């Protein structure tokens, strides 16, 4: 990616708050979450501000500018579209006609933001130009399933309805609608920093989405590593099995957030609908291996710790990261010593290492950070590593604030320059080590979980108990 990032970048992709269009003024969605280079995709627009100009920006490093413009449209006629429909499952769908067919001829693989502009105001629409094959490459995942789960556009997400209550949440969410807030909130919060660091290095990168991981069983064949972004909470059964098979074949994994692989979800056959009842009794597929409850719950408990190394622990959280094992190979160049703290790198949601079934026996705790909780016993956020029998190494940072650190100082409150430099250095070391081949062969994990005296009880967390298999 060095040649690509040597091309001129621009900061014109950014939208400041003063020029951000509201959800009813301007919005758009695509007819697919990813395309192969050279394919086209449909863009569906609604505008109360008149004609829309679309510019496509590829996220990258670009000498710190963060993106490069690769394409721009002529002004596109657009009108304000009717309100979306909502069905019995509270699924919001738009039926807007296609406004524009967007060609991707000459677009490099990567993560893109389409910047819609009309009447001096703007919004984003995300898109991935995906890789046809990943052999020999470091794979960056865009967690589109989680993006859609949190999407409140039109009134309903998998979390709440228009009245802000869990009772009126959707049981299924559609990709046939725009995203809320600025149009790409989770891409910018949890994926932009990953792309920024990865593209600053001279590595062979590949780009895919969680739908691609679900849909293509052999997509990860021969990959060097797979990077899960800052918030990658919703996983289907095929997604998990395909990633586990890759790990078992020696493909490294990096989980750069927390709360990954927490909810079991289902994609429709065309990938345009994501279902998650969040209840084994409410889901009509009761008893099925695809019943949409937590991965740690019945009817088929398969807790996330057997893949990520840890269990989701708690929300909300706010603390400093505390180094436990300063000799860990990915801390090279940080100058970190045991007990050193890094401000603000533990925040929002956290994971914790548990001595329970499924936790790798050689789990190595690299950071062990105390986290105070209101009204509950204090807990910890851990940063861990394990090596799998097939040679893969698996790192999990255990905090949603990590990718904010990758974006730089003050990307979140309390993250200072020292903490941001620490996160970037560790992540740079990680990406280079993943790209070199199976990390577990070169750097086998040194299990130390017993040394921190962790309890098997999940009572300190908000993630819930682990059901017996």
- The C-alpha angle 251, 362, 306, rounded to 5 degrees, equals 60
The beta strand positions in 302-378, using DSSP E, are 311-314, 318-322, 341-347, 350-352, 364-371
pLDDT the model gives residue 128: 98
Q: Which DSSP state fits 108?
A: P
Sequence-separated (6 or more) residues with CB below 8 Å from residue 82: none
pLDDT of residue 351: 98
pTM reported for the whole predicted model: 0.98
Residues 125 and 41: their CA atoms lie apart, in Å, by: 12
Low-confidence ranges of the chain (pLDDT < 70): none
What is the reported pLDDT for 239?
Answer: 98
Residue 360, pLDDT score: 98
Write down all domains in the chain, each with its CATH number in brackets: 216-469 (3.40.50)
The sheet carrying 263-267 orders its strands as 172-174, 273-275, 263-267, 234-236
- Per-residue confidence (pLDDT) for residue 468, from 0 to 100: 85
Nearest to 81 by CA among 52, 130, 45, 55: 45
Pairing of strands 172-174, 273-275: antiparallel
Q: What span, in angstroms and rounded, lies between the C-alpha atoms of 277 and 266?
A: 10
Q: Looking at residue 375, what is its pLDDT?
A: 87
Q: What gap in Å lies between CA 173 and CA 156, rounded to an integer?
A: 8
- The per-residue pLDDT for 2 is 79
Q: β-strands 92-93, 67-72: how paired?
A: unpaired
Q: Are 138 and 225 in contact (CB under 8 A)?
A: yes
């Amino acid at each position: 990616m060095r040649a690509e990032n040597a091309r001129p970048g621009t900061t014109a992709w950014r939208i400041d708050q003063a020029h951000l269009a509201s959800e009813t003024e301007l919005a758009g969605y695509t007819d697919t979450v990813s395309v192969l280079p050279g394919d086209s995709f449909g863009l569906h627009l609604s505008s109360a501000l008149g004609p829309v100009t679309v510019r496509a920006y590829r996220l990258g490093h670009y000498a710190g500018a963060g993106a490069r413009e690769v394409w721009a449209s002529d002004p596109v006629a657009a009108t304000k579209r009717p309100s979306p429909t909502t069905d019995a499952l509270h699924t919001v769908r738009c039926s807007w006609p296609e406004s524009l067919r967007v060609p991707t001829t000459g677009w490099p693989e990567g993560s893109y933001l389409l910047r819609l502009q009309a009447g001096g105001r703007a919004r984003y629409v995300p898109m991935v130009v995906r890789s046809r094959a990943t052999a020999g490459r470091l794979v960056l995942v865009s967690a589109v399933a989680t993006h859609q789960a949190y999407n409140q556009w039109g009134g309903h997400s998998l979390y709440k309805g228009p009245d802000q209550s869990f009772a009126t949440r959707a049981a299924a969410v559609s990709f046939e609608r725009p995203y809320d807030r600025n149009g790409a909130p989770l891409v910018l919060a949890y994926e932009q920093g990953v792309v920024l660091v990865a593209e600053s290095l001279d590595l062979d990168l590949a780009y895919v989405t969680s739908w691609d991981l679900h849909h293509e069983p052999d997509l990860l064949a021969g990959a060097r590593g797979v990077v899960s972004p800052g918030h990658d909470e919703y996983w289907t059964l095929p997604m998990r099995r395909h990633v586990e098979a890759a790990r078992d074949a020696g493909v490294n994994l990096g989980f750069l957030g927390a709360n990954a692989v927490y909810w079991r979800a289902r994609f429709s056959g065309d990938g345009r609908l994501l279902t998650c009842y969040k209840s084994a009794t409410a889901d009509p597929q009761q008893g099925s291996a695809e019943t949409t409850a937590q991965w740690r719950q019945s009817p088929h408990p398969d807790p996330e710790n057997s893949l990520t190394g840890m269990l989701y622990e708690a929300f909300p959280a706010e603390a400093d990261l505390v180094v436990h094992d300063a000799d860990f190979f990915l801390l090279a160049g940080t100058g970190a010593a045991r007990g050193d703290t890094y401000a603000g790198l533990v925040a929002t949601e956290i994971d914790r290492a548990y001595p329970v079934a499924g936790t790798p026996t050689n789990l190595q705790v690299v950071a062990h950070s105390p986290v105070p909780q209101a009204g509950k016993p204090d807990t910890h956020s851990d940063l861990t590593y394990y090596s799998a029998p097939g040679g893969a190494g698996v790192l999990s940072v255990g905090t949603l604030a990590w990718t904010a650190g990758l974006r730089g100082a003050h990307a979140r409150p309390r993250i200072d320059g020292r903490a941001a430099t620490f996160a970037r250095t560790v992540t740079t070391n990680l990406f280079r080590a993943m790209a070199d081949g199976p990390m577990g062969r070169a750097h086998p994990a040194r299990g130390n979980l017993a040394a921190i005296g962790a309890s098997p009880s999940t009572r300190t967390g908000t993630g819930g108990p682990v059901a017996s298999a």
